[in-house]
């Protein structure tokens, strides 16, 4: 991530345009947030997908947000896409334009419009309300009937998403040639008639003429020269990252929002000579993955919510037996079945501590879609080198969000790891001699020339893997399992402070809070406040040097999407307080099971600062 | 996962090398109680390894938790002592990702039919290639005499002082109905028969399951006496005209009163999970001949632009 652009707000421009009635000339804007609200079967998400891909091909940044209902079919669904010419860090707090397909979409989302925003509604389904008419600019279009008309009157309005895409293209002067190419690519495999129907709907949307809507805005081109971009969701980025890192075996059980990763791996791994097995349950899944690791691969499993709880005993075994393992946790709202399709960062504790006994494991958290790709790769490499379970924490918000990012250089990144079964003169699976805690697993098929073969086990064991209840041995082995994390910590990059290197307040975040956190810092700094931010990707072990950074600030606020608990600080804050015994570390927590908005962070930071006098 | 090069290499080496001796394959002295039935299963396993001339480095023994699951420590070879009830899942991941190995999994009745019951059913259904030997002693031994899923009704244990109340699992019926493709029964008291069953199980291409009655002399002494001719019982083989491909007949024999019959109850050939997954891989890879991983991934990324 480079520097952050700050751009004039779109809403102000539109207000003046609207008031002047001067709509014929497109006003140049540098970013726009569009929210589409409808039902899940309307293909709302695919409009977002098209816009995201278009942005990826047009030197523009894009970030999207999707919420889906936890019901099987039907139910409200929204997709929000933020397009910008600078760097887009978050999906945007409020929408500049809202497309409301139904009355409930109108009623529930009108509050998410910026002041003076534009409300496009399907006049076949929505009755505008008096109190909102004055507040927002309303544009009623009979989207449903116009779609039916455009695609040849089958009396079905399937395709109104593509019609709406045409409307958006017209409003924002988007590149229709590129969009048509995308539509061709998307529907090309489904037969000519489908492509024609989609194209008819799209073109009708584009052609829709009205002074209200045509050529309202033109998105500025990005300033910097950009390399090729790829567009995908966080779940896809994790799946492809695992493949790039050389993962060739995984096992899982379906659960939202993790399932997409398992579906991707099931579909893709065979191309690389690998397999992903759907198991009877979560315990079998993690066990199969560990079995493959024992076979000399790096096995992968993953889940969400309750599924992670079920895997913990086996993960503890992998810690004890020192087997490589990657566990993907796409966090959702908890505890128990919780909020399956909403976001929360409340699995940090289970990732860190889930299971009985002292069982150190590695925990990494991905901050955005691009980071999902690279975090997955890093996790596999750590698991392989340190023979340890590695958690990758993602969450529902990144999992379902589509972003464009610079295309990775796959040729240099991709690994095709050969199984190493070369004979060795002798082997101790739990060799203590190195002192750094590292030892190497030798898979079955490896000839041990001195004839002494290893047993890998969950019982406390001696260096050869044979059971030992000896006190000194347990001390040494516990130290070994702990020391390899210390060795890893020494290899981690030094954490980077965004903003001033020292000052009054340091905001600390992890995972998907990174975008809104950085935007909040930027915005507060623009208003003259001295704020900085620190994003922690490696949560266990923590990178060295955090204490030195903390000491340069008066207050440290840890911003998390989880509960502040009985004592007022959340899960990462708890880790940091325990680590540094620093009472200045305080929690800013949110339990709404919705992502942080930039404005909320700003308000909460202000409130915290009001509470405690600044001692500069 | 193409590990074919490894198989050839191993067998070549094995050709040059002397077969593994009993001394070489023997590890720690078993922690089992004197007289435990598991000793005979262990010695037959050694015999099988020697008889089949399995290269030392390819002997792979997996177990869960229980007395019998201590097994891998007593075999001087690659071994795994996994968690309670999940040995089959572990062994499945190993077997599917390492088709060059023949994985042996050992366990007891608690591991197989109680805590691991779900995995037993699904490993059988998926027909994952491996041999699973359950040393069934009808009691929890490691935790000192609680009721097991195969304890007969009325068996007095520390968790059923008045005698076991719950209908025991019939391992043969369970395996057949779950879709196991090799289902056999034997006893530690008849080592010759045990070796015969293990040999046949290893020949079988699929999930081969053996229930081996294995007496717990400490907590359920004499449990299997009426199947032991030396104790006045009868070791009844399968009826001579039994057709092991006849599922209904196998099920009927499995319903006979204890001590029942010994031998191969059921054996059919059905594609293994390993073969089916290999087929999926072959079909998928045929479209990407000669391409490296980054080429294949690049093709996907090109579609996401």
In three-state form (DSSP H/G/I as H, E/B as E, the rest C), the secondary structure along A547-584 is HHHHCCEEEEEEEECCCCCCCCCCHHHHHHHHHHCCCC
pLDDT, position A44: 82
CATH of domain A21-226: 3.40.920.10
A412, with CB counted inside 10 A (0-12, 13-18, 19+), is exposed
Residue of B189, B173, B107, B170 lying closest to B140 (CA atoms): B107
pLDDT, position B6: 42
Chain B environment of A443 (Cβ under 8 Å): 78, 98
Stretch A472-491: mean pLDDT, rounded?
98
The residue that leads in pLDDT, A500 or A70, is A500
For residue A167, what are the contacts with CB-CB under 8 A and spacing of at least 6?
A99, A120, A141, A143, A205, A206, A208, A213
How far does chain B reach from its first CA to its final CA, in angstroms? 30
Domain extents in chain A: 21-226, 231-413, 422-491, 497-611
Q: Residue B175 maps to which CATH number?
A: 3.40.50.970
Equal fold, A21-226 vs A497-611: no
The H-or-E segment that residue A81 falls in is strand A76-84
The yes-or-no verdict on residue A615 having pLDDT over 60 is: no
CB A535 within 8 A of CB A510: yes
Cβ pair B76:A453 closer than 8 A: yes
Give me the phi and psi of A180, to 5 degrees please.
-65, -35
What is d(CA A564, CA A242) in angstroms, rounded to the nearest whole number? 33
CB A436 within 8 A of CB B2: no
With bands split at pLDDT 50, 70 and 90, how would you rate the model's confidence at A22?
very low
- Portion of chain A with pLDDT greater than 90, in percent: 64
What is d(CA B119, CA B89) in angstroms, rounded to the nearest whole number? 6
3-state SS class at A436: coil
What is d(CA B68, CA B116) in angstroms, rounded to the nearest whole number? 15
Stretch B107-127: mean pLDDT, rounded?
98
Give the B window 34-63 contacts with A, CB below 8 Å.
55-60, 62
- The total of other beta-carbon atoms located within 10 Å of residue A133's CB is 11
Task: Mean pLDDT check: name the lowest of A15-19, A464-468, A518-522, B234-238.
Answer: A15-19
Q: Which two tokens stand for residue A409?
A: 């250089």
Cβ pair A275:B277 closer than 8 A: yes
Residue of A472, A116, A296 lying closest to B60 (CA atoms): A296
Would B195 be classed as within a structural domain? yes
pLDDT, position B46: 97
Task: Mean pLDDT check: name the lowest of A148-157, B114-123, B210-219.
Answer: A148-157
Cβ pair B119:A292 closer than 8 A: no
The yes-or-no verdict on residue A525 having pLDDT over 60 is: yes
Tens of pLDDT, residues A122-149: 999 999 999 898 889 899 999 998 988 8
What does the angle CA A511 – CA A335 – CA A40 come to, to the nearest 5 degrees? 75
The yes-or-no verdict on residue A198 having pLDDT over 60 is: yes
Tens of pLDDT, residues B188-202: 999 999 999 999 999
The yes-or-no verdict on residue A23 having pLDDT over 80 is: no
Would B284 be classed as within a structural domain? no
Stretch A293-321: mean pLDDT, rounded?
98
Tens of pLDDT, residues B250-263: 999 999 999 999 99
Tell whether B289 lies on the interface with A, counting CB pairs under 8 A.
no
With bands split at pLDDT 50, 70 and 90, how would you rate the model's confidence at A69?
low
Smallest Cβ–Cβ distance between A230 and the set B96, B97, B305 belongs to B305
Which of A82-96, A164-178, B104-118 is the most confident on average? B104-118
This complex has an ipTM of 0.95
For residue A387, what are the contacts with CB-CB under 8 A and spacing of at least 6?
A322, A323, A324, A438, A439, A440, A441, A484
The yes-or-no verdict on residue B294 having pLDDT over 80 is: yes
Give me the phi and psi of A496, to 5 degrees please.
-115, 130
Distances (CA, A) of B263 to B44, B181, B194, B212: 16, 14, 9, 10
3-state SS class at B265: strand
Cβ density class A526-553: b for 16+ within 10 Å, e for less: eeebbbbbbbbbbbbbbbeebeebbeeb
Rounded (10°) angle between helices A598-611 and A514-526: 60
For residue B173, what are the contacts with CB-CB under 8 A and spacing of at least 6?
B251, B254, B255
Stretch A5-25: mean pLDDT, rounded?
35
Would B63 be classed as within a structural domain? yes
- Portion of chain B with pLDDT greater than 70, in percent: 95
pLDDT, position B13: 52
pLDDT, position A45: 80
CATH of domain A497-611: 3.40.50.920
Stretch A339-361: mean pLDDT, rounded?
96
The residue that leads in pLDDT, B225 or A42, is B225
Cβ pair B297:A415 closer than 8 A: no
- Between A and B, how many residue pairs show a Cβ–Cβ distance under 8 A? 213
With bands split at pLDDT 50, 70 and 90, how would you rate the model's confidence at A56?
confident
The yes-or-no verdict on residue A543 having pLDDT over 80 is: yes
Task: Mean pLDDT check: name the lowest of A24-38, A250-264, A322-336.
Answer: A24-38
Residue of A262, A287, A259, A284 lying closest to A275 (CA atoms): A262
pLDDT, position A185: 85
pLDDT, position B158: 97
Cβ pair A454:B78 closer than 8 A: yes
Stretch A235-242: mean pLDDT, rounded?
98
Would B265 be classed as within a structural domain? yes
- The total of other beta-carbon atoms located within 10 Å of residue A423's CB is 14
The H-or-E segment that residue A588 falls in is strand A585-589
pLDDT, position A222: 57
Chain A environment of B3 (Cβ under 8 Å): 419, 445
CB B189 within 8 A of CB B235: yes
Cβ pair A284:B86 closer than 8 A: yes
The yes-or-no verdict on residue B224 having pLDDT over 70 is: yes
Task: Mean pLDDT check: name the lowest of A46-55, B81-90, B109-118.
Answer: A46-55
Give the B window 103-122 contacts with A, CB below 8 Å.
118-119, 121-122
HSE-CB at A463 with a 13 A cutoff on CA atoms is 14
Tell whether B192 lies on the interface with A, counting CB pairs under 8 A.
no
Would B297 be classed as within a structural domain? no
Overall fold of domain A231-413: Rossmann fold (3.40.50)
What is d(CA B177, CA A411) in angstroms, rounded to the nearest whole number? 49
Tens of pLDDT, residues A440-462: 999 999 999 999 999 999 999 99
Measured over the CA atoms of residue A184, residue A189, residue A195 and residue A197, the dihedral's sign is negative
Q: Which residue has the tokens 């909102």?
A: A132
- Which of A453, A459, A462, A466 to mutate against chain B (most B CBs within 10 Å)? A453
CB A345 within 8 A of CB A517: no
DSSP B237: B
Cβ pair B6:A229 closer than 8 A: no
Would B225 be classed as within a structural domain? yes
Would B287 be classed as within a structural domain? no
Chain B environment of A57 (Cβ under 8 Å): 305
Q: Which domain holds residue B147?
A: 4-270
With bands split at pLDDT 50, 70 and 90, how would you rate the model's confidence at A218?
confident
With bands split at pLDDT 50, 70 and 90, how would you rate the model's confidence at A24?
very low
pLDDT, position B160: 97
The yes-or-no verdict on residue A88 having pLDDT over 90 is: no
pLDDT, position A613: 60
Cβ pair B293:A421 closer than 8 A: no
**How many domains is chain B partitioned into structurally?**
1
Our CA-based measurement puts residue B16 at a distance from the nearest CA of chain A, in whole angstroms, of 14
Asked if the bond preceding B300 is cis, omega within 30° of 0, the reply is: no
Would B228 be classed as within a structural domain? yes
Asked if the bond preceding A463 is cis, omega within 30° of 0, the reply is: no
- The total of other beta-carbon atoms located within 10 Å of residue B241's CB is 6
The yes-or-no verdict on residue A73 having pLDDT over 70 is: no
Residue of A110, A373, A120, A333 lying closest to A238 (CA atoms): A373
């Amino acid at each position: 991530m480079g520097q952050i652009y700050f751009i004039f707000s779109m809403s102000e421009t539109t207000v003046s345009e609207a008031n002047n009635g001067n709509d014929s000339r497109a006003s140049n804007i540098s970013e726009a947030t569009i929210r589409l609200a409808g039902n899940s079967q309307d293909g709302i998400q695919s409009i977002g997908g098209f816009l995201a891909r278009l942005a990826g091909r047009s030197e523009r940044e894009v970030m999207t947000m999707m919420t889906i209902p936890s019901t099987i079919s039907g139910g409200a669904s929204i997709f929000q896409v933020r397009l910008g010419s600078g760097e887009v860090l978050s999906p945007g707090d409020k929408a500049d334009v809202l497309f409301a397909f139904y009355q409930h979409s109108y009623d529930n989302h009108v509050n998410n419009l910026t002041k003076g925003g534009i409300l496009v509604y399907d006049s076949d389904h929505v009755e505008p309300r008096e109190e909102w008419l004055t507040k927002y600019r309303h544009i009623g279009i009979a989207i449903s009937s116009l779609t039916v008309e455009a695609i040849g009157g089958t009396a079905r309005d399937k395709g109104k998403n593509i019609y709406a895409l045409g409307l958006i293209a017209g409003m924002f002067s988007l590149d229709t040639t590129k969009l048509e190419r995308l539509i061709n690519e998307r529907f090309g495999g489904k037969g000519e008639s489908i492509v024609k129907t989609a194209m008819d709907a799209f073109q009708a949307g584009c052609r829709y003429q009205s002074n209200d809507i045509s050529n309202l805005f033109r998105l500025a081109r990005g300033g910097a020269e950009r390399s090729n971009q790829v567009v995908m969701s966080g779940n896809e980025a994790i799946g492809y990252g695992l493949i790039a890192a050389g993962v060739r075996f995984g096992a899982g059980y379906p659960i939202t929002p993790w399932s997409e990763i398992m579906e991707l791996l099931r579909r893709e791994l065979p191309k690389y000579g690998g397999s992903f097995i759907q198991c009877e349950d979560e315990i079998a899944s993690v066990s199969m993955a560990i079995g493959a690791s024992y076979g000399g691969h790096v096995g992968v499993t993953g889940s969400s919510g309750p599924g992670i709880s079920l895997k913990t005993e086996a993960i503890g075994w992998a810690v004890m037996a020192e087997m490589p393992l990657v566990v993907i946790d796409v966090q959702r709202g908890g505890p128990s079945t919780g909020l399956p399709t909403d976001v929360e960062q409340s699995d940090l504790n289970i990732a860190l501590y889930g299971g009985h006994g002292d069982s150190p494991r590695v925990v990494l958290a991905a901050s955005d879609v691009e980071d999902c790709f690279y975090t997955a790769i890093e996790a596999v490499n750590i698991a392989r080198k340190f023979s340890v379970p590695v958690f990758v924490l993602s969450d529902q918000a990144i999992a379902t969000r589509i972003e464009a990012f610079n295309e990775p250089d796959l040729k240099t990144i991709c690994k095709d790891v050969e199984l190493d079964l070369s004979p060795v003169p002798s082997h101790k699976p739990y060799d203590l001699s190195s002192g750094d805690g590292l030892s190497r697993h030798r898979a079955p098929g490896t000839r041990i020339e001195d004839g002494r073969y290893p047993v890998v086990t969950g019982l406390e064991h001696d260096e050869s893997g044979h059971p030992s209840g000896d006190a000194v041995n347990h001390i040494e082995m516990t130290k070994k399992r702990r020391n390899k994390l210390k060795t890893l910590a020494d290899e981690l990059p030094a954490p980077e402070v965004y903003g001033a290197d020292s000052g009054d307040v340091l905001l600390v975040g992890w995972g998907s809070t990174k975008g809104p956190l950085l935007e909040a810092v930027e915005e507060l700094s623009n208003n003259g406040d001295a704020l900085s931010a620190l994003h922690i990707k490696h949560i266990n072990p923590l990178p060295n040097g955090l204490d030195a950074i903390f000491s340069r600030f008066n207050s440290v606020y840890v911003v998390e999407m989880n509960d502040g608990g009985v004592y007022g600080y959340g899960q990462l804050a708890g880790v940091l307080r325990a680590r540094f015994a620093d009472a200045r570390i305080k929690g800013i927590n949110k339990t709404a099971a919705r992502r942080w908005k930039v404005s909320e962070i700003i308000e909460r930071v202000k409130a915290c600062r009001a509470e405690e006098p600044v001692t500069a | 996962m193409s590990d074919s090069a490894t198989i050839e290499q191993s067998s070549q080496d094995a050709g040059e090398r002397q077969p593994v001796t009993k001394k070489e394959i023997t590890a720690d002295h078993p922690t089992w109680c004197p007289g435990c039935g598991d000793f005979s299963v262990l010695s037959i396993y050694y015999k099988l390894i020697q008889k089949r001339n399995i290269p030392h480095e390819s002997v792979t023994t997996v177990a869960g938790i229980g007395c019998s699951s201590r097994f891998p420590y007593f075999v001087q070879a690659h071994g795994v002592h996994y968690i309670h009830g999940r040995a089959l899942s572990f062994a499945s991941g190993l077997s599917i990702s390492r088709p060059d190995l023949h994985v042996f999994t050992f366990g007891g009745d608690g591991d197989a039919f109680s805590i691991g019951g779900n995995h037993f059913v699904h490993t059988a259904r998926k027909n994952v290639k491996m041999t699973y030997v359950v040393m069934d002693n009808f009691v929890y031994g490691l935790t000192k005499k609680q009721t097991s899923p195969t304890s007969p009704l009325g068996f007095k244990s520390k968790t059923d002082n008045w005698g076991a109340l719950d209908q025991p699992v019939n391992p043969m019926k369970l395996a057949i109905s779950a879709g196991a493709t090799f289902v056999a029964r034997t006893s530690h008291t008849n080592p010759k028969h045990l070796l015969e069953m293990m040999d046949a199980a290893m020949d079988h291409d699929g999930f081969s399951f053996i229930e081996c009655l294995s007496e717990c002399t400490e907590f359920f002494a004499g449990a299997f006496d009426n199947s032991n001719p030396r104790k006045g019982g009868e070791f009844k083989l399968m009826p001579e005209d039994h057709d092991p491909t006849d599922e209904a007949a196998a099920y009927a024999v499995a319903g006979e009163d204890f001590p029942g019959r010994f031998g191969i109850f059921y054996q059919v050939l059905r594609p293994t999970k390993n073969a089916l997954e290999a087929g999926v891989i072959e079909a998928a890879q045929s479209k990407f001949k000669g391409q490296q991983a980054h080429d294949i991934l690049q093709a996907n990324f090109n579609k996401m632009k």
